[in-house]
Amino acid sequence: MKKQKPWLLFATITTVSWGIWGALIEIPEKAGFPATLGYSVWALTMIPCSLIALKIVNWKLEYDLRSVLLGASIGFLGAGGQLILFRALVDGPAYIVFPVISLYPVVTIIFSVIFLKESTGMKHWIGIILALIALVLLSYQEPNSTVAEGYLWLILSILVFLAWGIQAYVMKFSNETMKAESIFFYMMLTGILLIPVALMMTDFSQPINWGFKGPYLAAMIQVLNAVGALMLVYAVRYGKAIIVVPMTALAPVITIILSLIIYAVIPHPIIIVGMVFAVIAIYLMAE
């Protein structure tokens, strides 16, 4: 009988959830609901997911100092990275910012191999390398004539790259001693604590859509993001971070496919090559 791989199920749910989320999140944003407010809605959608997770373990939340610090660090690295990304995109060109950030699994892999002594077979390593190449190709965007001022955006991009890479490593490290449900609870809590920062970053002088296509539709879509985050914690618990993280980072493949169907957007040839690499990488890593 083939050995069961619970991590693969959870990682697949994360990849699919984030892929669908990525394809739909533009709808409320284009309708006049800022991404910063979308962040606030996302943080709130983490609450029901966290409550369901805690109910599964009979509300046994770990609240010793070590667990609180580890859980909070995971939350701040993830949610804080998202807010820093918003600021980086204000001045920085997206066609450089996203490729830089997309390689965050490299940090996770390096830390996991050095400190957690994770290892895998040659087939998986080929898949990991192809996944990293695919991430850069999938994040390709057409250069525009906008000239970025200064280098603050690049520094911020590198900070996000480091934050998200370290977050996944700490998540795996924490799973050795903490319940996944407790980790997610602190991720939810820190996400909520950063809502005031997101509100301060919002330009309320601009028209904001408070109708159905605003916060309500955003909530329906952001639930996918929250579910994906919860499944990621479970995937990292049962699987190796060096495989799980690159695999879930390939969610843009699904986003691109859905965007092609929904918006009739034909991907750039570079992105198509990235999709081919991604499919091969997922197959190799899932073996």
Asked whether the predicted pLDDT for residue 259 surpasses 90, the reply is: no
Total number of domains in the chain: 1
Per the model's pLDDT, the better-predicted residue between 90 and 196 turns out to be 196
Both tokens of residue 188?
């939810």
R_g over Cα of the chain: 18
Q: Can you give the pLDDT at residue 238?
A: 94
Q: Can you give the pLDDT at residue 148?
A: 58
Residue 187 inside a domain? The answer is: yes
Both tokens of residue 43?
């943080």
Asked whether the predicted pLDDT for residue 4 surpasses 70, the reply is: no
Q: Can you give the pLDDT at residue 216?
A: 97
Residue 1 inside a domain? The answer is: no
Residue 243 inside a domain? The answer is: yes
Per the model's pLDDT, the better-predicted residue between 123 and 77 turns out to be 77
Asked whether the predicted pLDDT for residue 82 surpasses 70, the reply is: yes
Average pLDDT of every residue of the chain = 91
Residue 98 inside a domain? The answer is: yes
Per the model's pLDDT, the better-predicted residue between 63 and 89 turns out to be 63
For residue range 210-250, what is the model confidence (pLDDT) as tens digits? 999 999 999 999 999 999 999 999 999 999 999 999 999 99
Provide the domain limits for residue 16: 6-286
For residue range 23-77, what is the model confidence (pLDDT) as tens digits? 999 899 999 999 999 999 999 999 999 999 999 999 999 999 999 999 999 999 9
Q: Can you give the pLDDT at residue 149?
A: 63
Residue 151 inside a domain? The answer is: yes
Asked whether the predicted pLDDT for residue 1 surpasses 50, the reply is: no
For residue range 138-160, what is the model confidence (pLDDT) as tens digits? 988 777 655 556 678 889 999 99
Q: Can you give the pLDDT at residue 95?
A: 75
Residue 101 inside a domain? The answer is: yes
Query: Residue by residue, what is the 3-state secondary structure of the chain?
Result: CCCCCHHHHHHHHHHHHHHHHHHHCHHHHHCCCCHHHHHHHHHHHHHHHHHHHHHHCCCCCCCCHHHHHHHHHHHHHHHHHHHHHHHHHHHCCHHHHHHHHHCCHHHHHHHHHHHCCCCCCHHHHHHHHHHHHHHHHHCCCCCCCCCCCCCHHHHHHHHHHHHHHHHHHHHHHHHCCCCHHHHHHHHHHHHHHCHHHHHHCCCCCCCCCCCHHHHHHHHHHHHHHHHHHHHHHHHHHHCCHHHHHHHHCCCHHHHHHHHHHHHCCCCCHHHHHHHHHHHHHHHHHHC
- Residue 194 in contact with residue 132, Cβ under 8 Å? no
Residue 81 inside a domain? The answer is: yes
Distance CA 64, CA 189 (A): 16
Both tokens of residue 239?
């699987």
Asked whether the predicted pLDDT for residue 285 surpasses 60, the reply is: yes
Q: How much is the average pLDDT of 97-114? A: 91
